[in-house]
Structure 1
Amino acid sequence: MAEFRMPSLGADMEAGTLVEWLVKPGATLRRGDVIAVVETQKGAIEIENFEEGIFEGPIAQIGARVPVGAPIALIRRQDEPAAAVTPGAPASPALEGPPAEAPVPPRMAEIAVDARQQPEEPVPLSVAASPMAAEVAPERVRASPAARRHAADHGIDLSLVKGSGPNGAIQLRDLEGMESRPPTPAAPPVEPVPQPMTGMRAAIAAAMARSKREIPHYYLAHRIDLTEAEAWLSNFNTRRDPAERLVLGALFVKAVARATRKYPEFNGHFTDGVFRPSPVVHAGVAINIRGTGLVAPAIHDADALGVPELMAAMRDLVGRVRAGRFRSSELSDPTITVSSLGDRGVETLYGVIYPPQVAIVGFGMPVTEVRALEGLIGPHKIVHVTLAGDHRVSDGHRGALFLSHIDQLLQKPEAL
């Protein structure tokens, strides 16, 4: 009997809330089947199974907040006898279940993160209505226009002046020789209202703080001429429908993935004081979720995919992430991350490595520059590429060779 445990979906995750079971006891499971939905600070995530067998039943209650690594269900192998499991029974004191009367949370489609939703704005402070507002305003002081202007210019309180005009109206002569009152003190500055971080921003903060605390980063930058890549891309897209056309980002991800074959020290995980290079390349692609933060889920086997297949995988991934639907393996599997802020007009970016990965490659906005090439001067499209590497695993010499190899690959896009 195997225990299905709460998976770790990133270096910043400590626990997840069980939202929904997508299989029933007795269901036959295969590797890769989605069996549950767990809500984390990054949204509602579909959890995949990696055990062949029969779903014996849940251990954790719906709504329970379960620590990473704690069992939440049992999976029976085909040749094992069935075990008596009480559905919904808590597995250990570490599980925190909701009160008995708590309603069952909605299905994933109802709780999925809305990428377009903006974080809640704090309620602006307002002055409470005072009981004095209902009182009758005092009678207007009688004064000539000239007297009112003089009083306003010199800060004189007309209610304290006895007038000599008709019906006690204050005249300009009544104000001669009077000293102005002290100026009204300025109101104290309003303190800004603290804005607490959203769940995702808190998760990002924890992961990035850990990264800068534990990983000795080094940074390199390189400029790559995209003239050949853009010409090939333009020619390719003229023969394709809009839905099948490629963008430079697909070439960038493919070039990085291919380059790790020659320089494997940039592809893998550093855990328990040891670097473990990965035999596969699962390229994490940084995706902005409007108003909440970003995630970098994996495109599996990015080095083995053709560029059109890689482009299709990117479109699918971006669409699902921005709708709040992505799988556990897509968050836990990345072996190297590729990030780009070119669509934001940034020419150069320096990323922070997401642990336990050991490298992140950043692409800026391609810009047109005048360059001399083989004795000819002309416009060339240039992109700034950066590498943040983990100095425990690689060094600047290897990093420079890695960036140079990415450059060489982009000069022959048809071979990618």
Structure 2
Amino acid sequence: MSDFVMPSLGADMESGKLVQWLVKPGSVVKKGDVAAVVETHKGAFEIEIFEEGVISELCAKEGDELPVGAPLARLVRPGEGSAASKASTIAPEVIPVSAPIPAVEVERTAGTVAAPSPPLIQPSSRPKASPAARRKAGELGIDLNTLKGTGLDGSVTLADVELAAAKGGPPKTPSSAAAPAARRRGFDPDEMRLAIAAAMSRSKREIPHYYLTNTMDMSRPLAWLESFNRQRKPEERLLPAALLLKATALALREHPQLNGFWEDGRFRPADGVHIGWAISLRGGGLIAPAIHEVDTHSLQSLMAALRDLVGRARSGGIRGSEMMDPTFTVTSVGDRGAESVLGVIYPPQVAILGFGRVIERPWVADGSVTSRPLITASLAADHRASDGHLGGLFLAAVDRFLQEPEDL
């Protein structure tokens, strides 16, 4: 028996609200299955199971606000016995496995149950759907009750909504056209700013930062990028961000002392290069979900992963695992940003790399002054885990990899 707990989706998270269950007692799950939707100050996130087994008990109800680490459900692992016998002991407010579970949220019916009977749970009219699917359906005026979900336990996915829209859409709810667009559920810009401020204050208070900068000539990578993109469709073209990410990942592979976590008074190296890419949200605020195993991606697959990540971050489709395990963070201000950026380390990580915008500047090459597109890379690192010598070698490695774009 093991507990499925409220995960920590970042150093600035203390608690989360259980918005929706996507499993029920008796559900067979495997690693990577989405089991619940949890809401934090940064939005709604799909939370995955990290073990194989059978759900025996739901320990929390939809709508509960729970601290990080609190049990959400209990899981019977293979070989541990019958899940059915475990499920029969679930708390009265949870529907037993033998009863049909409607794909809806539930709410307690107050004051209608005579003692000593336990309170009843009555289903609402709200169907199971992922946050992204619910938001898209609201934008298109599609009634989720009319869709057949293809997700886990029949939940409606974003693909189901988009397919319905492509076919002309099922009947719309009567008030959907007239109703104003709802504010993004679970996302409050003021709350996010407070949470970011708390995490960054903790970082600056507890982490002895040191900063290094290096200016890099982008002539070769940009020329190669232009040649690569010339014969490709727009959706297949690369952006400079893909080169920056891949060069950073390869440099981290050479210098793993910057890729990991400071925990319990010591550095713990990461088991992979999972780079958190800082994404500004349209409503304000910032999140940095991870792209996993960046050093193993081709540039094309990395670009596809980056586009997918940014799109889901801004539409509410980020998974909990993508928030839980970045091992290093990259922030880029883009082509309309500042010339450089000095990042603040996101604990328990030990470093962050910032890229400014590419600008034309005088540059000395082969003994003469010429105009070149340059970018400033700025490393902030934890002096408990590394020092300036290592940081300088890391920045030099990033530059070296960028100068050989065809090998990335």
- Using the size of structure 1 for normalisation, the TM-score is 0.75
Residue of structure 2 aligned with 1:408, choices 381, 388, 400:
400
Report % sequence identity.
51
* Matches for 1:263-274 after TM superposition, within 5 Å: 263-274=255-266
Residue 78 of structure 2 aligns to which amino acid in structure 1? Answer: Q
CA spacing shift, 1:322–1:373, aligned 2, 3 Å: same
- Give the structure 2 partner of residue 86 of structure 1: 90
Cα distance in 2, alignment partners of residues 385 and 118 from structure 1: 40
Cα distance in 1, alignment partners of residues 32 and 356 from structure 2: 35
Other structure's SS at 1:32 match: coil
- Give the structure 1 partner of residue 166 of structure 2: none
Asked whether the equivalents of residues 221 and 385 of structure 1 are also in contact (C-alpha less than 8 Å), the reply is yes
Q: Deviation above 3 Å: which 4+ runs of structure 1?
A: 87-90, 97-107, 109-112, 117-120
Over alpha carbons, which structure has the higher Rg? 1
* Matches for 1:303-318 after TM superposition, within 5 Å: 303-318=295-310
Cα distance in 1, alignment partners of residues 296 and 255 from structure 2: 16
Residue of structure 2 aligned with 1:301, choices 293, 301, 304:
293
Other structure's SS at 2:360 match: strand
Asked whether the equivalents of residues 35 and 47 of structure 1 are also in contact (C-alpha less than 8 Å), the reply is yes
Cα distance in 2, alignment partners of residues 218 and 119 from structure 1: 40
Cα distance in 2, alignment partners of residues 87 and 317 from structure 1: 38
Other structure's SS at 1:198 match: helix
- Give the structure 2 partner of residue 218 of structure 1: 210
Residue of structure 2 aligned with 1:205, choices 197, 200, 205:
197
- Give the structure 1 partner of residue 239 of structure 2: 247
CA spacing shift, 1:359–1:305, aligned 2, 3 Å: same
- Give the structure 1 partner of residue 253 of structure 2: 261
CA RMSD of aligned residues (A): 2.5
Other structure's SS at 1:394 match: coil
Asked whether the equivalents of residues 27 and 55 of structure 1 are also in contact (C-alpha less than 8 Å), the reply is yes
Residue 280 of structure 1 aligns to which amino acid in structure 2? Answer: G
* Matches for 1:381-396 after TM superposition, within 5 Å: 381-396=373-388
* Matches for 1:84-123 after TM superposition, within 5 Å: 84-86=88-90, 89=93, 100-101=109-110, 107=129, 108=131, 109-110=133-134
What runs of 5+ residues in structure 2 fail to find an aligned partner? 95-105, 111-121, 139-180
Q: How many residues align?
A: 333
**Counterpart check, 1:24 vs 2:16:** no
Residue 340 of structure 1 aligns to which amino acid in structure 2? Answer: S
Residue 400 of structure 1 aligns to which amino acid in structure 2? Answer: G
* Per-residue deviation, 1:200: 1.2
Other structure's SS at 1:380 match: strand
* Per-residue deviation, 1:376: 4.4
**Counterpart check, 1:76 vs 2:76:** yes
CA deviations 1:76-113 (Å, max 9, x no partner) are 123312212325759xxxxxx9865498688534479x
Cα distance in 1, alignment partners of residues 336 and 382 from structure 2: 27
* Per-residue deviation, 1:342: 2.6
- Give the structure 1 partner of residue 340 of structure 2: 348
* Matches for 1:60-209 after TM superposition, within 5 Å: 60-79=60-79, 80-82=81-83, 83=86, 84-86=88-90, 89=93, 100-101=109-110, 107=129, 108=131, 109-110=133-134, 198-209=190-201
Cα distance in 2, alignment partners of residues 118 and 393 from structure 1: 45
Residue 236 of structure 2 aligns to which amino acid in structure 1? Answer: E
* Per-residue deviation, 1:370: 2.6
- Using the size of structure 2 for normalisation, the TM-score is 0.77
Asked whether the equivalents of residues 119 and 198 of structure 1 are also in contact (C-alpha less than 8 Å), the reply is no
Asked whether the equivalents of residues 118 and 291 of structure 1 are also in contact (C-alpha less than 8 Å), the reply is no
- Give the structure 1 partner of residue 141 of structure 2: none
CA spacing shift, 1:340–1:248, aligned 2, 3 Å: same
